[in-house]
Amino acid sequence: FYEVHEVIVPHLGHVPIAKGDFARLPREVQKFIAFYTDQLRPRGIYICDGSEEEAHEVIHKLLERGTLEVLPKYENCYISLNQKKHYEMKMIPIVSKKVKSLKKARGVPGTLAGVSVYSCPSYICRTDPADVARVEGKTYVCTRDKHETVPNSRPDAKGGLGQWISPEELDKELAERWPGCMAGRMMYVIPFSMGPIGSPLAKIGVQLTDSNYVLLCMRIMTRVSPKVWEILEENPEFVKCVHSMGCPRPWRKKVINHWPCNPEKVFIVHLPHERKVKSFGSGYGGNSLLGKKCFALRIASVQARDEGWMAEHMLIMGITTPAGKEYFVAAAFPSACGKTNLAMIKPTLPGYSVRCVGDDIAWMKFSDDGQLRGINPESGFFGVAPGTNWKTNPNAMASFQKNSIFTNVGKTADGGFYWEGMEDEIDKDMEITTWLGDKWKIGMPGKAAHPNSRFTAPANQCPIIHPRWEDPQGVPIHALVFGGRRPTGVPLVYESFDWPHGVAVGASVKSEATAAAEFTGKKIMHDPMAMRPFMGYNFGHYLQHWLDMEKPGRKMPKIFHVNWFRVDDKGQFVWPGFGENIRVLDWMIQRLEGKDVAVETPIGYLPKKGSIKTEGININWDDIFTLPKDYWVDDIKETKKFLETEVGDDMPKALKEQLEKIEQRINKM
Ligand code: GTP
Ligand code: SPV
Ligand code: MN
């Protein structure tokens, strides 16, 4: 446990350094800290070192304050399911009175399967119910030139592809939020690497935050390490991330669930030229863990544009065939549409094995030999909890049995996590406290967990994490996949004819709205490349960047489109999904291996009847693969209109041509 050193750094005035050695930080970092200390007025500066002691200290504070609650471990769950014999338990020195009494109530410390248990290594957190998802409406990119950020769209455009703010307007918005916003709070300085530390594909960031919950999650999601300071001594470039919950002391309003935030004033802005992110008012995932969407997608997409690579909202997985050949696939699905589940699937086809490299973000670059290679810039999973269970995603379940944080899930009376989808895995009569704090039981109206409740788990705890997931050179990417929630009309899988057609397929991605952002209802939304909420620059230029990736000498990956979410007239999914999705991956691999298992259709190559292995599952081929002409005539018309209206003048010519060709083919169906 730290002592507050009375170190007073002259140009910071009398703001104590609670931990760390300010004098030894790289010069640029000192300036960054000094500037924001002056503006935000925290009560102290805590320079993080990523150590275990630091985690214990922060957890201790959060438990004492009540933001986190201990969850007892999952004895019954994994023993009865015969999961890994047992997980090593970490001893966490918890000393607060409150926690001691909790431990007593459960009879901990005790033993389980011969392992001493001193305290539970996972935690549950309930946010202010007004702070539960990304807030796209309050997320901006600021550039002097508007056209750099948003396309020259047509007058009737709705403007969903990026949100621009001028520097002048930004100054006004910042002025009414930031000055003094950390008063009475500690400012944590977090040095982190996106990607394996020292990898040529990795990038450095430093985040300032007044939330120790955010620090705890950043420690899981990124590589927090003092080694970052050494890297910055050689190359002082880093992405400057500043985050505040926007709740200075003394608190002027009631703080709900020990989660001080400022929902009315949420404001997230990206300054791509300055490589800077400023996020105010929210502690939720994509709004506050700035290494994730803000840096690794919005800022990095600009870096990728400038440096000739790709920053995408994609999982990366390795699939080893029964013949022992391994293929790597990167797949982009909109938020809450199945990336984490696919990245970790437990294949149902014999002889196949899958290993996970990443579940949300891919940074990819063509190497000199023309091979696309990708890394996962993150080091943890921030996954959707509802729907996850030992049947649908046992690998995710195993990943979060320790050292994990559960946000806005329910809690069982025996101290476990609970969410919709776990009905068959707990006692039906179990008393549950919902994410809103109400008493609840299975079968009662309402939900135990928020639909966007999440687990935050270290990637290296995933039983199928790929041995090369931290390879500094990345893994070779053989295929790209797009998909979304498409209840009608869209077949299980199809393959694009070539790279430009594949780009058109990606640009046409649509999906039913999900709980990952502020949208409600079952509206079908456009989400080109699954990147609509995460673009850092003009979407038209981004589509051109995709087209420009194709160059002589490069091995262009095949591009596929999948849909796990087609339903029949009773609203039931026509495809079993999850582990059975290996059957679709198997078909893609047959295509990568040059097998003649496809038929040409107006939208792309579809599987020849019978070429998807369907033994052992009960499906109707036609339900899954028919292409209703009326549907597709309307669909391409609507997609073309959307892109032409929204991307307007910036629509790449080659893409326009692709869409026209698709339309012509469909009209001739
Ligand atoms: P983000 O973390 O928001 O980017 O989401 P994601 O794309 O990683 O989605 P995730 O894998 O967490 O899945 C979201 C929801 O879709 C969960 O409730 C899953 O249970 C459900 N889901 C995932 N895969 C399938 C599938 O193959 N079939 C069906 N029916 N549902 C699925
Ligand atoms: C998503 O919404 O795509 C997520 C969750 O992965 S968040 O980190 O909140 O963006
Ligand atoms: Mn995501």
- Return the pLDDT at 522: 81
Average of per-residue pLDDT values in the chain: 91
- Residues in a beta bridge with 326: 320
User: Known catalytic residue: 120?
Assistant: no
Query: Whose structure tokens read 């009737």?
Result: 156
C-beta separation of 133 from 263 below 8 A:
no
pTM score of the predicted model: 0.93
- For atom 15 of ligand 1, which residue has the closest CA? 336
**pLDDT band at 538, cuts 50/70/90?**
very high
- Return the pLDDT at 102: 35
| Nearest of 421, 386, 420 to residue 516 by alpha carbon | 386
Strands 432-433 and 439-440: antiparallel
Spell out the alpha helix ranges (H) of 372-512: 394-399, 499-507
How far is residue 46's CA from residue 247's CA, in Å, rounded to a whole number?
A: 18
**pLDDT band at 521, cuts 50/70/90?**
confident
Q: Is the pLDDT of residue 87 over 60?
A: no
- What mean pLDDT is predicted for residues 76-82? 27
- What mean pLDDT is predicted for residues 525-542? 98
- What mean pLDDT is predicted for residues 327-356? 98
89-103, 142-156, 223-237, 332-346, range with the lowest pLDDT? 89-103
Whether the CB of 283 sits within 6 Å of ligand 2: no
Catalytic residue among 48, 181, 261, 337: 337
10-19, 100-109, 568-577, range with the lowest pLDDT? 100-109
The counts of H helices and E strands in the chain are: 18, 35
Query: Whose structure tokens read 């869209």?
Result: 490
Dump pLDDT digits (tens) for 547-563.
999 999 999 999 999 99
Instruction: List, as ranges, residues with CB under 5 A of the ion ligand 3.
Output: 335, 360
Dump pLDDT digits (tens) for 287-336.
999 999 999 999 999 999 999 999 999 999 999 999 999 999 999 999 99
- What mean pLDDT is predicted for residues 462-486? 98
- What mean pLDDT is predicted for residues 56-85? 66
| Percent of the chain surpassing pLDDT 90 | 87
Which ligand gives the minimal distance to the CA of 286?
Answer: 2
Three-class secondary structure of residue 364 per DSSP: strand
- For atom 27 of ligand 1, which residue has the closest CA? 577
How far is residue 445's CA from residue 260's CA, in Å, rounded to a whole number?
A: 29
- Return the pLDDT at 12: 61
- Return the pLDDT at 514: 85
- For atom 1 of ligand 2, which residue has the closest CA? 335
**pLDDT band at 8, cuts 50/70/90?**
low
- Return the pLDDT at 109: 36
- Return the pLDDT at 120: 46
Spell out the alpha helix ranges (H) of 41-191: 52-65, 75-80, 97-105, 146-149, 167-175
| Nearest of 272, 198, 208 to residue 241 by alpha carbon | 208
Whether the CB of 134 sits within 6 Å of ligand 2: yes
How far is residue 629's CA from residue 626's CA, in Å, rounded to a whole number?
A: 9
Which ligand gives the minimal distance to the CA of 217?
Answer: 2
How far is residue 55's CA from residue 466's CA, in Å, rounded to a whole number?
A: 26
Q: Is the pLDDT of residue 542 over 50?
A: yes
Whether the CB of 527 sits within 6 Å of ligand 2: no
Whether the CB of 286 sits within 6 Å of ligand 2: yes
102-116, 232-246, 295-309, range with the lowest pLDDT? 102-116
Centre a 10 Å sphere on the Cβ of residue 362 and count the other Cβ atoms it contains: 28
Pocket of ligand 1 (CB under 6 A): 333, 335-341, 359-360, 383-384, 386-387, 392, 516, 564-565, 573, 577-578, 581
Cα 482 to middle of ligand 3, angstroms: 13
- Return the pLDDT at 197: 95
Dump pLDDT digits (tens) for 360-399.
999 999 999 999 999 999 999 999 999 999 999 999 999 9
Sheet hosting strand 410-412, strand order edge to edge: 417-418, 410-412, 432-433, 439-440
How far is residue 345's CA from residue 364's CA, in Å, rounded to a whole number?
A: 22
- Return the pLDDT at 556: 98
- For atom 19 of ligand 1, which residue has the closest CA? 387
Spell out the alpha helix ranges (H) of 66-166: 75-80, 97-105, 146-149
Q: Is the pLDDT of residue 60 over 70?
A: yes
**pLDDT band at 73, cuts 50/70/90?**
low
How far is residue 46's CA from residue 16's CA, in Å, rounded to a whole number?
A: 9
- Return the pLDDT at 10: 59
Q: Is the pLDDT of residue 13 over 80?
A: no
DSSP 256-286: STT----GGG-EEEEETTTTEEEEES--SHH
Atom of ligand 2 nearest to the CA of 293: 10
Strands 479-483 and 326-332: parallel
Query: Whose structure tokens read 């899930």?
Result: 409
Atom of ligand 1 nearest to the CA of 573: 30
40-44, 103-107, 321-325, 610-614, range with the lowest pLDDT? 103-107
Dump pLDDT digits (tens) for 565-613.
999 999 999 999 999 999 999 999 999 999 999 999 999 999 999 999 9
Cα 217 to middle of ligand 2, angstroms: 13
| Percent of the chain surpassing pLDDT 70 | 91
From 293, 312, 341, 381, give the residue whose CB has the most ligand 2 atoms within 8 Å, as the site to mutate. 293
- Return the pLDDT at 439: 98
The count of residues in the chain is: 669
1-5, 116-120, 249-253, range with the lowest pLDDT? 116-120
